[in-house]
Amino acid sequence: MSSLLTPENLVNALSLGALYALIAVGYTMVYGIIKLINFAHGEIFMLGAFWALMLVGAEQATGINLFVAIVPAMLLCAAVGMSIDWTAYLSLRRRLPLADWMSVALLAILGLGAIAYKLTGDTTHTWHSETAHGVLRWAVIALVPVTMLALSIGEKGGLLGRSLGRVTSDRLSALITAIGMSLILQTLAQLIWGADYRAFPEDAIPAFMNERVGAFDVVGLPVLGKELAIWVTALAMMVALNLLVTRTKIGTAMRACSMDQETAALMGISVDRVIAFTFVVGSAMAAVAGILYAVKVGGNISFRMGYYPGLLAFAAAVLGGIGNVRGAMLGGVLIGFVQGFTGGAFSVPFAVMILVLLVLPRGILGEPQATRA
């Protein structure tokens, strides 16, 4: 036991907790509004790392610093998050046949395009290839998702017609849809980028990230620059999110939709736009977590990289109180500490979550849900 209570494990636990907290808030915000567990959220985490890898160069650095690549990666993942909502989850909330048929068609095109890309050449070409295979790569990666995003924005603006009514889907349908979207994104990533593990080029990562931070040597903590970057980034984003939810107009709308969507709609709030914004914010934070996670572990960028962190972040959201943003942050830190001080064991955090739920069924900061007659 004493071998686990080391300064190295403390630093590792703090970093893991910060990363899990960034992912967990995406789960909890979506659940808080539409009562859906977005299991595709772990794949957004994975896509964030891949987008950044493309921006800095898959084989060698293109001159773009990794910190510069974070912003466009956040925007791209935010766009993917909004498109996922429109493609997979919209039909679970409202009847809009035109949007449903377009979603099916675009998903089919995206899948067939990825398969065609896989069959027409190997995956060792550089990202700047001017061959037909390179053109197909960019068509698959950019053209169809951009179309999906444009249609998603158009639907939020009412350009695809008015809804024919609301749909009350059961929890099982939503669960299967979320799992299906997760598997779709994993498969597409494997077809496009292959199954090999990748890492950011060394030239793209600032030198200080792998150097000791001298200020922490005074207290005996072996803190590297990348660990400090994770702490500062996670803290800044969680403070910003808390201010967004509690101090802004859109944050008030999010809390209103979380309490009662029908009443919020009667008060003039566009519920679907609030839901889309929630996916955008959660996906952007997951993208940052994916990039920082890949830097922390020194690579591990693959189509499956979001699976285990996504499950642990989900456990963190449940532990803290699913639907409570501050609870998700607290749960992420606690799960990080449990895993950090148990030698990275995957099952122990879930055991802790179960034990806590036996005492606090709604989680640590979970609030009782009012039932209407």
Q: pLDDT tens for residues 156-187?
A: 777 766 666 676 667 788 889 899 899 989 98
Distance, C-alpha 139 to centroid of its chain: 24
Question: Per-residue confidence at 256, pLDDT binned at 50, 70, 90?
Answer: very high
Helix, strand, coil percentages (3-state) for the chain, rounded to 5, are 70, 0, 30
For the stretch 68-75, contacts whose Cβ atoms lie closer than 8 Å and that sit 24 or more positions apart, written own/partner, are: 69/204, 69/291, 70/287, 70/288, 70/291, 73/48, 73/287, 73/288, 73/291, 74/48, 74/284, 74/287, 74/288, 75/284
- Over the chain, what is the mean pLDDT? 83
Question: Residue 198 forms beta bridges with which residues?
Answer: 301
Of the candidates 27, 6, 2, 1, the residue with the CA atom closest to the CA atom of residue 327: 27
Task: Decide if 291 contacts 73 (C-beta within 8 A).
Answer: yes
Q: Give me Rg for the CA atoms of the chain.
A: 21
Q: Which helix (H) or strand (E) holds 127?
A: none
Q: pLDDT tens for residues 57-72?
A: 765 556 678 888 899 9
**Mean pLDDT, residues 114-131 taken together:** 57
Q: pLDDT tens for residues 325-352?
A: 999 999 999 999 999 888 777 888 899 9
Q: Which helix (H) or strand (E) holds 342?
A: none
| Out of 17-26, 45-54, 65-74, 111-120, least confident range | 111-120
